[in-house]
Every structure is written in C-alpha cells, then in structure tokens.
Amino acid sequence: MALKVTRGIITRPQKVVMYGPEGIGKTTLASEAPEPLFIDTEGGTSHLNVARIEYQQDWESLLATIKEVAKEDCCKTLVIDTIDWAEQLASDYICKRFKQPSIESFGYGKGYTYLAEEIERFLGALDEVIASGKNVILTAHAKMRKQELPDEAGQFDRWELKLTKQSAPLVKEWADAVLFINYKTMIVATEGANKAQGGKRVIYTTHHPCWDAKNRHNLKNCLDLSYDNIAEIFTSSTSTTTQELSTEPQNTSELRTLMQTDGITEEQLRNLLSTSKFYDASKPLEDYSDKLISQWQIIVTKIQNTIF
C-alpha cells in the first residue's frame, strides 16, 4: 500500500496571543480579525461594536462555552479577552473545589499544579475550536519584573504575560504567535540631558531580552500598531499537495523532464543504452536514472549525432 505524503505549506487556523500594558489597544486590534466573537471575561469590549457571548462568570461555564463555539458555525475567530482574568476564574474554581481561601493556601505549590492542569484543559478546549476551522486570539495584560542574567552584571526590566509562572509557559508554547504591544519611545540627546520623545504604539513580534514575543510568519521585528501589518497571519493561502509515495525513485520525474525538454524519446534512449554491456533491456529506464541524469549532456550529444 502506497504512503500518503503531503508537501508544501499547511495553512490552518491560527493561535495568537496579544499582550501589552492596560489601554494599549489589544482588544481593538483583536476586533479587526476575521469575524471575531468575543468571550469578554473582564468587560473590556463595552466600547466596541463587536459580537459577544453571554455566559456565567465561572470557570466551568467558560470551558463549556468554548466547546459550544467549536460545535457551532458562529464566527471565524474566537477572542478570549483576557486570559489573565480567565486564569483567575480557574483559580477561584480550584479554591472552591478544595475549600481553600486562596491558591497559596495549598502549600508546596500544589495549588499552582492544579491551576496548570486547568489551563491545559482550557487550551485543549481551544484546540477543539482550532480543529473546527476557527482562529483563536487570547489577549492578556503585561507585567514587568526584574531580570538578571547569570553572565551579566546588574538587573533590567522585562515584560511578560501577566500569568503565573506555571501557566505562562503553557500558553506561549501553545501559541503560533505571541505579539507584544507597547509604546516605542525615542531618546533624543539635548544640551545637558537626554529626553524621551514619541510614544508611538508598536507590535514587537520576536523575542528580546526585555520582552516575550514570537511568530512563525517571518514578520518584521517591530511593526506599527495596525491590523494591516499582521493580517497575513490570518489570510495566508493554503498550499498543500497530497501524493502517493510508491517504490518508484524520486528522480524518475527528473529523468522524464530532461527527456521531454531535449526531445529525447524512450526508444532513442534505449537504442543508445543497448550498446552498453551494463544495460538490460528488460529493466525499466528508472533503474538507470541516477547514471543517466549524471551524464545527460553526453547522452544527448551522442543521440543527436547518431542516425538509427
């Protein structure tokens, strides 16, 4: 039985995380994605004319709503706004389930282990949405923490997702793109001092010591905050082909292409090969592909100079 082999780019719905400081424009950017449907966990979409899903503000209801979106033809993009508020719903659910006053009360980090398990369940539900043909966008707030590299002196500020240290790696690994939105400030030297100017909003798309970001779409490192600059994430075309992989050598098509290009027939090629003691007329030409391709120009010259 021949193997089914796919070649080329496989385009599927995208998993995108957009995060940044409060009020930077994360929700507005997400609202420009193809046919968005919002699950608003914090009430941040009230100023936007967007479609929203009403649900009870609890963790189990959120997961059930996501699973329903996967079953329904209701949108092209599901937006969770924001995931850090969703994580708080998960934390409240765990505390209520185990009758603990806070996630810290479990001791030995056990509460955070439960929390990571719930986030994995959450991402699994979102994968069902992806499988149904819909994009998923997660918005998140950003937080700053002090970072110190082992081989460097001193500390520096670093932006990251406003999630627990157990949840953040799961979300970043799950995503196809993590986009950090912030203000880009230019430092201008003046007489006696340096002054900050600008404050333009931009999207950072690749990792930097001062922030988390990534993308699999070869985006520029820094883009102006505009949906047009990231639209290709959601609109790239499919380029996938499927073929049967048989026992025929892969260079067979190359040999046939050379024959067609130079006007060489199979009969002419076999007549020439018949003069060689290494040639067996009972075998297909493909058995000699490697040898023929490597000496093709010599073969063409001999055929063109021979009268059969």
Taking only the tens of pLDDT, the chain with its 308 residues reads: 678 787 777 778 999 999 999 999 999 999 999 999 999 998 888 889 999 998 888 999 999 999 999 999 999 999 999 999 999 999 999 999 999 999 999 888 899 999 999 999 999 999 999 999 999 999 999 998 887 666 555 677 889 999 999 999 999 999 999 999 999 876 666 666 666 566 789 999 998 888 999 998 889 999 999 999 999 998 753 334 444 444 444 455 677 888 887 788 888 888 888 887 677 777 787 777 777 787 787 888 888 776 44
84 with 7, same domain? yes
Note whether 242 and 5 are within 8 A (CB): yes
264 with 137, same domain? no
Note whether 77 and 33 are within 8 A (CB): yes
Q: Is 185 helix (H, G, I), strand (E, B) or coil?
A: strand
Tell me which residue range forms the domain holding 254.
Answer: 249-304
Pairing of strands 193-204, 51-52: unpaired
Burial class from Cβ neighbours inside 10 Å (0-12, 13-18, 19+) for residue 127 reads middle
Can you give the C-alpha Rg of the chain in angstroms? 29
Q: Which helix (H) or strand (E) holds 293?
A: helix 289-294
Q: Which long-range contacts (CB under 8 A, 24 or more apart) does 300-306 make?
A: 300/262, 300/264, 302/272, 303/264, 303/268, 303/269, 303/272, 306/271, 306/272
Q: Which of 240, 264, 284 is the last residue of a domain?
A: 240
Return the pLDDT at 121: 95
192 with 271, same domain? no
What is the CATH classification number for the domain harbouring 116?
3.40.50.300
51 with 197, same domain? yes
96 with 136, same domain? yes
128 with 275, same domain? no
Per-residue DSSP letter, 76: S
112 with 205, same domain? yes
221 with 262, same domain? no
200 with 94, same domain? yes
Q: Which of 209, 240, 271 is the last residue of a domain?
A: 240
Q: Which of 206, 240, 274 is the last residue of a domain?
A: 240
272 with 163, same domain? no
180 with 72, same domain? yes
69 with 92, same domain? yes
Q: What's the domain count of the chain?
A: 2
114 Cβ contact list (under 8 Å, min separation 6) = 94, 98, 106
Cα–Cα distance for residue pair 227/214, rounded to 1 Å: 17
In the block, residue with structure tokens 């929203």: 52
In the chain, the DSSP E strands lie at: 3-9, 15-20, 36-40, 51-52, 77-81, 135-147, 156-161, 177-190, 193-204, 222-224, 239-245
Return the pLDDT at 250: 47
Q: Within 13 Å of residue 171, how many CA atoms lie on the same side as its CB?
A: 33
